[in-house]
A and B are shown apart, each in its own frame.
Chain A
Amino acid sequence: MPDPAPTPAAPIPFPLLLVAELSYVCPLHCPYCSNPTGIVGARRSAELPTADWTRVFREASALGVLQLALTGGEPLLRRDLEELCSASRDAGLYSTLVTSALPALDTRVEALRDAGLDHVQVSIQHADRERSDVIGGAVSFDAKLAAARAVRELGMPLTINVVLHRDNLDDVDEIIELAAGLGARRLELANTQYHGWAAVNKQALMPTRAQVERGERIVEAARERLGARMEILWVLPDHFEDLPKPCMGGWGSDAIIIDPTGRVLPCQSAATLPGLPVERVTDSSLEQVWFDSELFNRYRGHAWMQEPCRSCPLGRQDVDHGGCRCQAFALTGDAAATDPVCHLSPHHAALVADRDRILAAAEKNERPPYRYRTTSARQS
């Protein structure tokens, strides 16, 4: 069989989404946080100042970005958040605040709305107050509900976001009822992806297959029941899959992430990959980084792919783009390898063995306590 012909370089699309991580600091300490684990002694003074963010919003809009996610850490810790919402609106971006609701979203949301904020996404850890607070590592549940109600009273669209794992999957029904009762337009039920702190806590968080299957059935039934009243997103846990997810819709194809210190990245975990060139919004324009940087071009197209991706028998090169680069690196030590979630990966058997070992321990109720996310240098 001849070698596959080289793929003609496809034109680089314009980006649609800018994820602005405004601060690494967070009042919550969720053990599944997707932020990198290496952030210790996160200094507020190292955060990108207002003027750089507002310039970046204009650059993003000129580059074709339509949606802006204001996230963190916790974006409410920024005292200039109203100014940033206003800059987003001036740039023509549709803004979503992705928040724990602490501190004090309930009393601040009206000013944020008036400044130009379009949509609020509040995380909840569980439908039960005590258990939600335990998972989040902070007393927060009542404040979340108060904030969600304040959002709805203003008539703003509300999304509730819940990261699912062993300790809340059995309560998906109650979570759906809670979100519907709050008047959420969308509910994101995202099973934990094992990056960042979630990788550290994999043994405590990984659900059983029965839990996942039951959750899936409950979501299906709720979709039938609620219809258009509330959209429910269900993100599968990929340790139970044998085909990888199209991470970020493909490297450098939809999204730009900017971390709190101004680094520009193709995905939220990309900073964990070794040997990637660093790009900063203070050194180059977003347009230069998007089109011309080695960082954003490294895993575009197919030329970088190895076997089995290179000659994928399933024709999925443009479907899943080889899966997640960060997971490939975390599990194989090679960021250009096929994501081991793929059953064709030579590392897939090891991923399955690791999962089954964790699940066997879970059956016997052997589980470590959470290691809570922290950005202070004192713990761990």
Chain B
Amino acid sequence: MSAADATRRPTLASGVRLHRDTVRERDVLLFPEGALVLNETAAEVLALCDGERTVAQIAAVLSERYGGADLLADVVELLDGIVAEGLMDRDDDA
């Protein structure tokens, strides 16, 4: 993890949407011809990726929800995975 990771303001790539699949009771990312099933934490992180918050701010929001644990490394790892899937742009710091 580099210092730049924490200051990125991540947002989903264009044409990628976070969606609550109420039938199967799970969150998914929808994109051209596909869907990626998310666990609850991943869905929470992605819901916070609005292009305004930095990665550090997203980690701080989650930390507050989960009793103060330092979640920055976990958030960065998760977002790297979404980038690797091509669902989030790498150079998206505003």
Contact = CB atoms under 8 A, between A and B. Distances in A.
Interface residues of A, number: 21
Nearest to A16: B35
Given A64-B21, A66-B19, A228-B86, A96 B14 contact: no
Contacts of A157: 13-15, 31-32
Contacts of B35: 16, 66-67, 94
A15 B33 CA distance: 14
Interface residues of B, number: 17
Interface string B11-26: 0011101011101100
Contacts of A228: 86
Contacts of A63: 23
A155 B17 CA distance: 14
A84 B6 CA distance: 41
A118 interface: yes
A66 B31 contact: no
Interface string B24-45: 1000101111110000000000
Nearest to A118: B15
A62 interface: yes
Contacts of B33: 67, 96, 119, 159, 186
Contacts of B19: 66, 92, 94
Contacts of A16: 35
Nearest to A89: B17
Contacts of B20: 92
A94 B17 contact: yes
Interface of B: 13-15, 17, 19-21, 23-24, 28, 30-35, 86
20 contacts: A14-B24, A64-B21, A66-B30, A67-B34, A94-B17, A94-B19, A94-B30, A94-B35, A96-B33, A118-B15, A118-B17, A119-B33, A156-B15, A157-B15, A159-B32, A185-B15, A185-B32, A185-B86, A186-B33, A231-B86
